[in-house]
Chain A
Amino acid sequence: MSATMTHEGAVHTASHDHGHHDKTGTVIFGFWIFLMSDLIAFSLMIANYADAEWHGIANGPSPHELFSLGLPTIETMALLISTFTFGLCTLGMKYGASMKRTVFWLVVTLALGAIFLGIELYEFHEFWTEGNTPQVSGFLTAYYSLVGLHGLHVTSGIIWGILLMVQMKTFGMNDLMKSRLVRLGLFWHMLDIVWIALFTKVYLMGVLS
């Protein structure tokens, strides 16, 4: 809740016409609830993964045979930094006189997201060409689906961000754009938190296993 308040504060909605409640705050509140529902999906996928990495190896590789920490650490760094840069983007929206700073940090954020995604796809490609496709075992199915679901979220975040920049150019930085940017921010930060869980469970604990 307190984060909601912070973000509502960041939006500074200008007009409060009579008999009309604060729509921006409510929309953001609704989006929080949506994210809670989305987190259920991730939780279930993680639970499924936790089961599959024990019982689902079949004839395929086990986690510590498959994973190394090098690339995943770099992609984790990219995503963590992108969360920081999104913070700068939000600050730019709140204090910046023009849209410039906001847009600049948004571009940096999305670029970091793209780097993250690129590394992930590269890893998928490597595994795939070694013959470790999702069809090999329950474990690989769970791995590709869990990490892939997160990757799909990042992809939609990037597309959303690009479309939002187009709209910001069309409409200018009005309340609606601010509200949308705040929601993208919530989405992006959630993906970061989810990734910390994934990195720990899949890669760190996988390599140690």
Chain B
Amino acid sequence: MNILGSLDWNDIFIVPFLKEPTLSTGIAAGAGGIVVLGALALALLLTVKGWWKPLWSEWITSLDHKKIGVMYVVLSGIMLVRGVLEAVVMRAQQVSPAPGFLSVEHHAELFSTHGTIMIFFVAMPFLTGLINVVMPLQIGARDMEFPFMNAVSLWLSVGGAALVMASLVVGHFETGGWTAYPPYTGINLSPNEGVDYWIWSLALTSVGSTLSGINFAVTIYKQRAPGMTLMRMPIFAWTTLCTAILMIFAMMPLTVASLMLALDRQAGFHFFTAAQGGNMMNFANMFWLFGHPEVYILILPAFGVFSHVIPTFSGKKLYGYTSLVWATIAIAVLSFTVWVHHFFTMGQTTNLNAIFGIATMTIGVPTGVKVYNWLLTMYRGKLRFSTAMLFSAGFMFTFVIGGVTGVMLANPTIDFATHNSLFLVAHFHNMIIPGVLFGMFAGVNYWFPLCFGFRLDETWGRRSFWLWMVGFYLAFMPLYAIGLMGAPRRMAFFTDPAYLPWLVIAMFGALMVLGGLAAQVIQIWVSVKNRESLMVPAGDPWDGRGLEWSLGCPVPEYDFTTVPHITSREPWVDAKAQGKRVIDPTEFVDIHLPKSTGLPFVTAMIATIGAFALIFQMWLIAAVFFVAMWVTVLIRSYDTDWEETISAEELRKGYEAHKHLVETTPKATFEDEFTSKNRGLILEEVV
């Protein structure tokens, strides 16, 4: 048996290009080259600056929920760059004369990685990161309930993402789309390692997400500050709770389905094979039993973000809190009842399709309730169009259009005509880009000061919004049109000249979106450079309404000096109404925070190497790493000294210092909100 399994020289990214230099292999080699050079450049930068040590001791080993959240978002940002670049290459492919410059397989790899990355390695880590940073601060907790497990989740996600990146350098990714339906992805039709990359990168990250879901749910159930009843929780905490419950129940079907596929491929089992009694419909059902709740895992946290950004920048209380909570719960429950609408055309009876079609349309109702909640929050408010608010407004506008096309697709008769067309592609991008990305961008622009102490640059933020917004419409409205004209999805090239003008517009839109992404990179760069003038140490730069704005920016490691006692839905607004700018301390006591440890990182990296070994059928190496992974867990179980204490005295000093800072900070008005006069103490009018 070959210890290196099926790995050979032809799997190294540059070799196919050297053997057969075409534009398609050249692009593949270039992409692999970018990954390798990028990694080397990063290593060089870290070495030159001497950042290896701080990276290890302050970030990788940290169990602080805020830092873990930031690392999640960074991961998602890196993967977003790759996902958007792939989109641009695909758009370029379809406007170039048929058969285009990419081979059909290469194009198929691109749409498969694009989908896989955008869902699992952009959207998921983005929202998980945001939840990590914000949710504990909103409910008066000092950390996640299980900080160690939280770090394990993070590094498992990073490991999964690393495998997808590795597929650019070693071997190929799969070509069956992000859903990877068998029997096409079975061993006969997809013999190379591509599908295994998909299976094992998802296995890592879906285990991570299941653990995150458990962590979030237990944190919310058990760690809320005294007095914070469920119906006093901020909406973002509510949407997190619903998302967490969906994660707990919905990630497992994906794990099960993908591991069954692995057994079919590597052990000759017959779960989904076309012969000997396999049934691929079981895969479709299980995949979408995960896949549909997944849509709401993605979107609910964004709904939470909007429910904070819109009231803050409208200067009003959220309209209809209770209805929003119930709408969220309704969406979470209904999300498990609609999965068949992803395959209306795959042979169910008409009655079954009708039931699922009606259930699908029903979800539009609570979602509509939410849109009215936000609109009525804005109604007669004093609106301030910050970047975060722009993304929220852009979301509402665009998302409703996507919702309408969704209700169209929910009708099985229409779905039969538009199924597998670009109309569908336009629809789900129309939901996910405004619904998830705009929400996450709004959240980052809004909550960024909590982590770093300074605001993000508004000018570049607004530029990025307009590029994303206009770019989105140009990129996807044409797809609706040619989808209705009959253009199927996942085509490497089209020969119908009627599509071309639309595809050119879409290409231009994709470039604008790329521009939007570039503007965001510049925004971060400019903000870091000008951070002195963007500092908001007093901690409340937007006249915020949640507890997270009462702690000072950046939020100290221990989050709260004393645990607040909650008597209403908006304790921070109440405190400010009484003229207080610091919440009265309750009782100073010694607190315990988790000690830093590198073990979660080690565990997850061992799991990642093991997964890589499985992809290339290095069974021996995989077995060794599997055992090693559990040994690290065992090592942790012997570690009983996992907390360090912060004394009551230190917390008292922290409180006094924050109070002094707030008292000496000059007040700013809303006119100066986006200028350097805003030091985190802002009032409607200076009294």
**Are A34 and B214 neighbours in the complex by a CB distance under 8 Å?**
yes
Q: Mark A127-149, 1 if CB is under 8 A from B, else 0.
A: 00000001111111110010000
Residues of chain B with a CB closer than 8 A to A145's CB: 260, 263, 269, 271
Q: Give the dominant DSSP class at A's interface.
A: helix
Q: B614-651: which residues lie under 8 A (CB-CB) from chain A?
A: 634, 637-638, 640
Asked if A19 CB lies within 8 Å of chain B CBs, one says yes
**Are B253 and A137 neighbours in the complex by a CB distance under 8 Å?**
no
**Are B276 and A138 neighbours in the complex by a CB distance under 8 Å?**
yes
How many residues belonging to B are interface residues under a CB distance threshold of 8 Å?
44
Residues of chain B with a CB closer than 8 A to A163's CB: 634, 637
Q: Given that A37-B210, A44-B286, A138-B277 are contacting pairs, would A29 and B252 also be in contact in the complex, using a CB cutoff of 8 Å?
A: no
Q: A86-135: which residues lie under 8 A (CB-CB) from chain B?
A: 134-135
Asked if B104 CB lies within 8 Å of chain A CBs, one says no
Asked if B268 CB lies within 8 Å of chain A CBs, one says yes
Residues of chain A with a CB closer than 8 A to B275's CB: 58
Asked if B321 CB lies within 8 Å of chain A CBs, one says no
Asked if A81 CB lies within 8 Å of chain B CBs, one says no
A33, A38, A163 — most chain B CB neighbours (10 Å)? A33
**Are B218 and A30 neighbours in the complex by a CB distance under 8 Å?**
yes
Q: Mark A16-56, 1 if CB is under 8 A from B, else 0.
A: 00111100001101100110111011001101100110011
Q: B219-275: which residues lie under 8 A (CB-CB) from chain A?
A: 221-223, 248-249, 251-253, 255-257, 260, 263, 267-271, 273, 275
Cα–Cα, bound, A40→B275 (Å): 27
Cα–Cα, bound, A27→B210 (Å): 16
**Are B269 and A141 neighbours in the complex by a CB distance under 8 Å?**
yes
Residues of chain B with a CB closer than 8 A to A204's CB: none
Name the residue of chain A whose CB is nearest to the CB of B276. Answer: A58
A-B contact count (CB 8 A): 116
**Are A37 and B640 neighbours in the complex by a CB distance under 8 Å?**
no
Asked if B146 CB lies within 8 Å of chain A CBs, one says yes
**Are B145 and A30 neighbours in the complex by a CB distance under 8 Å?**
yes
Residues of chain B with a CB closer than 8 A to A139's CB: 277
Residues of chain B with a CB closer than 8 A to A60's CB: 276-277
Of the residues A47, A56, A180, contact of B278 by C-beta under 8 Å: A56
Q: B274-301: which residues lie under 8 A (CB-CB) from chain A?
A: 275-279, 282, 286, 289
**Are A44 and B214 neighbours in the complex by a CB distance under 8 Å?**
no
Of the residues A30, A41, A141, contact of B214 by C-beta under 8 Å: A30
Give B63 Cβ to nearest chain A Cβ, in Å.
Answer: 15
Asked if B108 CB lies within 8 Å of chain A CBs, one says no
**Are B279 and A56 neighbours in the complex by a CB distance under 8 Å?**
yes
A20, A141, A145 — most chain B CB neighbours (10 Å)? A141
Name the residue of chain B whose CB is nearest to the CB of A33. Answer: B214
Residues of chain B with a CB closer than 8 A to A37's CB: 210, 213-214, 248-249, 251-252
How many residues belonging to A are interface residues under a CB distance threshold of 8 Å?
43
Give A8 Cβ to nearest chain B Cβ, in Å.
Answer: 12
Q: B547-578: which residues lie under 8 A (CB-CB) from chain A?
A: 563
Q: Given that A30-B214, A137-B270, A138-B279 are contacting pairs, would A44 and B253 also be in contact in the complex, using a CB cutoff of 8 Å?
A: yes
B251, B263, B270, B592 — most chain A CB neighbours (10 Å)? B270
Give B322 Cβ to nearest chain A Cβ, in Å.
Answer: 25
Cα–Cα, bound, A33→B214 (Å): 7
Of the residues A19, A29, A51, contact of B589 by C-beta under 8 Å: A19
Give B20 Cβ to nearest chain A Cβ, in Å.
Answer: 37
**Are B640 and A21 neighbours in the complex by a CB distance under 8 Å?**
no
Q: Given that A36-B248, A142-B271 are contacting pairs, would A52 and B222 also be in contact in the complex, using a CB cutoff of 8 Å?
A: no
Residues of chain A with a CB closer than 8 A to B260's CB: 48, 145
Q: Mark B93-126, 1 if CB is under 8 A from A, else 0.
A: 0000000000000000000000000000000000
Give B283 Cβ to nearest chain A Cβ, in Å.
Answer: 10
Asked if B217 CB lies within 8 Å of chain A CBs, one says yes
Residues of chain B with a CB closer than 8 A to A136's CB: 276
Q: Given that A137-B270, A145-B269 are contacting pairs, would A29 and B640 also be in contact in the complex, using a CB cutoff of 8 Å?
A: no
Residues of chain A with a CB closer than 8 A to B286's CB: 44, 48
Cα–Cα, bound, A170→B638 (Å): 10
Cα–Cα, bound, A180→B640 (Å): 13
Give A150 Cβ to nearest chain B Cβ, in Å.
Answer: 14
Q: Given that A19-B591, A56-B277 are contacting pairs, would A26 and B218 also be in contact in the complex, using a CB cutoff of 8 Å?
A: yes
B249, B277, B279, B638 — most chain A CB neighbours (10 Å)? B277
Chain A residues close to B by CB (< 8 Å): 18-21, 26-27, 29-30, 33-34, 36-38, 40-41, 44-45, 47-48, 51-52, 55-60, 134-142, 145, 163, 167, 170-171, 176, 180
**CB-defined A-B contacts under 8 Å, sample of 24:** A19-B590, A26-B218, A26-B222, A30-B146, A33-B217, A37-B249, A37-B252, A44-B253, A48-B282, A52-B277, A52-B279, A55-B279, A56-B270, A56-B277, A58-B270, A138-B270, A138-B273, A138-B279, A141-B263, A141-B271, A145-B263, A145-B269, A163-B637, A167-B637
